[in-house]
Amino acid sequence: KGDSGLSEVTLLKKQVSVLQGQLTALQASLSKYQKVAAFPSGRIVGNKAFVTSGYEGNFDDLKQRCLQAGGQLASPRNAAENAAIQQIVILHNKPVFLGINDIQTEGRFTYLNGDAIVYSNWQQGEPNNDKGRENCVEIFVNGKWNDRSCGEKRLILCEF
Ligand code: IPD
Ligand code: CA
């Protein structure tokens, strides 16, 4: 009984050692992948990666393309994420549509899952629902947000 207990500990030690090696390899691989994802105009913030393909389209089109790729439209939840998105907007000098809208209820901006937004960075005077038809949100080179018609074409930016 004592013997088999010992060999079980020995076995477990071997398994832990194998796992440690695999974890080290995985960490190296992940670190490399993060650099790939961030080049030439992606950004990593925490465990979120923001990536554009350069494609431009309307909100529904962009939303669909991010979903298809296994991600979703960029949805900044804090200033650090907003700054990362802003850097990509600056690089391309083109505003992007965020994964935020008030399509469901005018004036209540939500993420794509319907939750009310927890962070915002509106340009002064926005959102103004200009002409009563602005339910999507674009982010400018200055990092500020403007509500805009969902039918406009903007640069795609997905988060993964
Ligand atoms: C509008 C203005 C306005 C903003 C609207 C835009 P436009 O542009 O920039 O300040 O709130 O979202 O549509 O239509 O006058 O070129
Ligand atoms: Ca507006």
Asked whether the predicted pLDDT for residue 1 surpasses 60, the reply is no
Whether 128 lines ligand 1, by a CB cut-off of 6 Å, is yes
Q: Buried (b) or exposed (e) across 25-52, using 16+ Cβ within 10 A? A: eeeeeeeeeeeeeeeebbbbbeebbbbb
Which atom of ligand 1 is nearest to 128's Cα?
A: 11
Superfamily of domain 40-159: Mannose-Binding Protein A, subunit A (3.10.100.10)
Q: What angle do CA 127, 130, 132 make, to 5 degrees?
A: 105
Q: In this structure, what DSSP letter does residue 132 have?
A: G
How far does residue 50's CA lie from ligand 2's centre (Å)? 24
User: What distance in Å separates the CA atoms of residue 136 and residue 151, rounded to the nearest whole number?
Assistant: 9
Reported as a single tens digit per residue, the pLDDT across 108-154 is 999 999 999 999 999 999 999 999 999 999 999 999 999 999 999 99
Whether 130 lines ligand 1, by a CB cut-off of 6 Å, is yes
Domain ranges for the chain = 1-37, 40-159
Reported as a single tens digit per residue, the pLDDT across 50-97 is 999 999 999 999 999 999 999 999 999 999 999 999 999 999 999 999
Report residue 92 as tokens.
């391309």
Full-model pTM: 0.93
